[in-house]
Structure 1
């Protein structure tokens, strides 16, 4: 199901600042060789992530779901000089690709890649997060959120991707394990009085959550 008119998406891309050369190469390589290339954040969403990071100027960013490294590189652009982004990838093969991409970036020294289960890794990081980006397995979104929210500073942001889940959350009844998990997550955040939130209809849906 198409949520956003492809012509509107193309128009948005036309009037969005272009990707840098490395991001263009990562995008092209991912689409050419990865069976799940649609998971890439892409041009417009990537630029939004970059802009949010640049506005916040965070010292510590957490990304759950690295994929091939595109979004981490976008987020890293706004880090303070002593800032770090910790990014977690479950799959060894994707982590290997991301690591190679990070090593080509001027921000390589600011990016810390962890490979494994995020639910196990996050408690051991001992950080307070300014910005968190959740873009991993959908069935664990609510668990990720509950785990990281206490670690986010007041005024910090959590961004959750794919909250429209290809339009499946708009259908009644909602079917499919992932769509049901996303719907449950959206409802959980909606009822959480500890945060303000706004759901953006960009790409596959991006939920912006600010801790009070």
Structure 2
């Protein structure tokens, strides 16, 4: 989540975005003060400029998204998600910040190219931005299975898929992710690349199931989103939300598992890349 088209409801949801917002408030305050040393004010302003300039520069230097992805991002940003909250279907209301966005979408697309994946599994689709980005990199006979629990989000996604020449590569599985994974494993399905971006409290269960079954190919990779969770994982434990604690525990579990190697990248809200050893 979230390099989105500007929206009045958009909010910073990455460590860098939150840091930049806080620094902006500090800059506004110190620039109104007359009792502070000029060199201190200059240092604070430069700190804000360094933080604020990273995301726009990444956008500028990264291959632009397809027209289909641009349209989907705009649709997601303009949707009144509060009106489509399916009580009991998800752990919290849907919001536009759940969208992966340009930089992460292009990163996942590049991973599909690099791994030459034929089959991709996405656990947590939302409106389908990351699914469509990865599908664009799949070969014509490639398959992406996308798990989504919320029917309205899935409806938005499928409409976007129908408008893209790559949408036919995507198969949507509606329902609770763990139940869908059990069904896929029972059917003997195997995937070269798996992207996890669903219920944070179930991340460890997803991870264990992927490794304990045939779901992850012997040389497959797992990409996991939100593994910095707005910085909560490295802030004092008493400042963590339930999801922040779940992600901290997931990161610890992965780090101690001898079956895998992993690297946590500070991309957006944290992206962990995992492979079997």
The reply to whether residue 138 of structure 1 matches residue 200 of structure 2 is: yes
Aligned position for 1:3:
15
Residues 1-212 of structure 1 mapped to structure 2, 5 A cutoff: 3-4=15-16, 5-35=51-81, 36-125=95-184, 126-149=188-211, 150=213, 151-174=215-238, 175-212=240-277
**1:34 CA drift (Å):** 4.7
**1:49 CA drift (Å):** 0.4
**1:154 CA drift (Å):** 2.1
Helix, strand or coil at the partner of 1:114: strand
Helix, strand or coil at the partner of 1:95: helix
RMSD, aligned α-carbons: 1.3
Structure 2: distance between partners of 1:166 and 1:64: 20
TM-score (norm. length: structure 2): 0.74
Confirm or deny: 8 A CA contact 1:129 1:152 kept in the other structure: yes
- 5+ residue gaps, structure 2: 1-12, 17-50, 82-94
Structure 2: distance between partners of 1:68 and 1:62: 15
Matched length: 212
Greater CA drift, 197-206 or 24-33? 24-33
Structure 2: distance between partners of 1:19 and 1:171: 34
Aligned position for 2:4:
none
The alpha-carbon distance between structure 1 residues 210 and 2, as it changes in their structure 2 partners (threshold 3 A), is closer
- 5+ residue gaps, structure 1: none
Structure 1: distance between partners of 2:104 and 2:138: 18
Could you say which structure has the higher strand fraction? Answer: 1
Structure 2: distance between partners of 1:52 and 1:2: 21
Helix, strand or coil at the partner of 1:133: strand
The structure that has the greater radius of gyration is 2
Residues 91-147 of structure 1, C-alpha deviations (whole Å, 9 max, x = no match): 011011011111111112211001101111112222111000000010000001111
TM-score (norm. length: structure 1): 0.96
